[in-house]
Structures are given as C-alpha cells and as structure tokens.
Amino acid sequence: GAVVSQHPSRVICKSGTSVKIECRSLDFQATTMFWYRQFPKQSLMLMATSNEGSKATYEQGVEKDKFLINHASLTLSTLTVTSAHPEDSSFYICSARDSLRNPADTQYFGPGTRLTVL
Amino acid sequence: GQNIDQPTEMTATEGAIVQINCTYQTSGFNGLFWYQQHAGEAPTFLSYNVLDGLEEKGRFSSFLSRSKGYSYLLLKELQMKDSASYLCAVRDRSGYSTLTFGKGTMLLVSP
C-alpha cells in the first residue's frame, strides 16, 4: 500500500516552454500532497503544499505564478513549470500524506521527475 | 524555523554496524523521520519517532531524544545495497505537517 506515482519520469524541453508533472496516489486518498525540488547532492527543498480543493501554500522564495499547482482530486496533484529556463532543471519529487490509514502521518514519495531545460 | 545537521559522508564495511546521527534545532516538533534515498530515486520511508526511545525494524533502528534534539539511525549487518543517502527529516507543528529535511548522509558500504 501507499504507492505514489509520478509522470513523466524524465522530460527534456526547450527554454520558454511549459511542463506539466502529475503526481498520483494509487491506493489511498491524499488530502495533502507536497512538491519538492532537489538539486544534485542537495537535500529536498519543499516548494509547496497542495490541498485538495484549495489553493496551494508556497514556501518562501517559490514563485507561485511560475510553479502552478492544481490538486483537483484526492488522488491527483499537478505541478506545471511555466516558461521553463535552464535554471529550473532539477529533480522534482512529490509526496502524499496518508492520514487515514497511517497514524504516523507519513509522507510517501513518488519516483521523481528529472527535468532538463535546454 | 528548523535547522537539521547530519554528517555529509560515512563509510563502513559489509556486515558491520553503522550509526548515523542527526541533531535538530526547531521552533516546533511533531516527529522525526528517516528516509533512504538511492541516487536518482525518490526517498523511501525507513522509520518514525515521536516519543523518546528506540524503534526497531529489522536491521534498522532509530533513536530519539527530544530533550537533546538528537536522533540516530542504526544499521546492522550492512549490505552493499545499503549504500545510499540517509535523510533525517523533522515535522513541525503546522497544520499541514510539513517536513524539513537535512542534507543527507551519504553512506558507502565496501566489501
């Protein structure tokens, strides 16, 4: 149980284009999903917290107009990187919280999306 | 805010025991997690501590002392596949239970 998927696993795009990344909880309902970014040899940095049916909460320094988050259902959240630039190249990871079944409120992570902007 | 410190790298030999320490200074505390992350992959959950003491799960154990702001992850009978980065993460008291991650400890297990 507690499986989280992400699609695509890898994407290469040209500078100026937009890229959408999907995060799905496959066997549980996730009222809250989180989006992280990880640069090489660095830790995970929380970008935003996504709650189903409401606006995402962005961390300080993360541009909400550039990183659009939509949490339209209890099993799907999407992150759209708009007008991507080479400095946006990174490993993007989502996680989902299984509050109902897991008293520890553990976050389970998706497999990540490697974004490369040329 | 949260500040989480862990060693950058550690090395050990196959079959040995290794202890990875984590210290934290936080404005709030609602649990400490350990995750394992292989290169290029997402983190996988290893353990969770919210009360003081030791939690044992097979070859892995995790300890927490809230008064000292200290935790460790103990790995026994090391295997080559245990070579990975180990991330310590603290959950704050916010309504959304966000996690703050340390930079991770890269463990290299040699034959």
Q: To the nearest whole percent, how much of chain B has pLDDT over 70?
A: 95
pLDDT above 80 (res B97): no
Query: Mean per-residue pLDDT for B37-51?
Result: 90
- d(CA B26, CA B7) in angstroms, rounded, equals 18
pLDDT above 90 (res B68): yes
Q: pLDDT by residue (tens digit) across A1-37?
A: 678 999 999 999 999 999 999 999 998 888 889 999 9
| Residue A87 C-alpha from the chain's centroid | 17
The type of residue at B56 is: E
- d(CA A84, CA B44) in angstroms, rounded, equals 28
pLDDT of residue B99: 86
pLDDT of residue A53: 81
Query: Among A35, A33, A44, which Cα is nearest to A63's?
Result: A35
- Which residues contact residue A75 at a Cβ distance below 8 angstroms, ignoring those fewer than 6 apart? A24, A25, A26, A29, A30
pLDDT above 60 (res B95): no
Q: Which of the residue ranges B58-62, B89-93, B103-107 would you say has the lowest mean pLDDT?
A: B89-93
Note whether A74 and A52 are within 8 A (CB). yes
- Which residues contact residue B20 at a Cβ distance below 8 angstroms, ignoring those fewer than 6 apart? B6, B7, B10, B72, B73, B74, B75, B86, B88, B105, B107
- d(CA B62, CA A83) in angstroms, rounded, equals 43
Joined together, the tokens standing for residue B109 give 């297990």
Pairing of strands B9-13, B105-110: parallel
Q: Do B42 and A42 touch (CB under 8 A)?
A: no
pLDDT above 80 (res A117): yes
CA distance A70 to chain B (A): 17
**Per-position DSSP letters for B33-89, written without gaps between them:** EEEEE-TTS--EEEEEE-SSEEEEETTEEEEEETTTTEEEEEE-S--GGG-EEEEEE
Sign of the torsion angle spanned by Cα atoms A117, A54, A33, A46: positive
Q: pLDDT by residue (tens digit) across B5-43?
A: 999 999 999 999 999 999 999 888 889 999 999 988 888
pLDDT of residue B4: 93
CA distance B15 to chain A (A): 26
Q: pLDDT by residue (tens digit) across A48-84?
A: 998 888 889 999 999 999 999 998 888 999 999 999 9
User: Which residues does A contribute to its contact with B (CB < 8 Å)?
Assistant: 6, 32, 34, 42-46, 49, 51, 57, 91, 93, 97, 104-112, 114
CA distance B77 to chain A (A): 26
pLDDT of residue A43: 84
Residue B53: strand pairing partners: B64
Q: Do A104 and B31 touch (CB under 8 A)?
A: yes
Q: Do A32 and B97 touch (CB under 8 A)?
A: yes
- d(CA B5, CA B68) in angstroms, rounded, equals 13
Half-sphere exposure of A50 (CA within 13 A, CB side): 29
Q: To the nearest whole percent, how much of chain B has pLDDT over 90?
A: 77
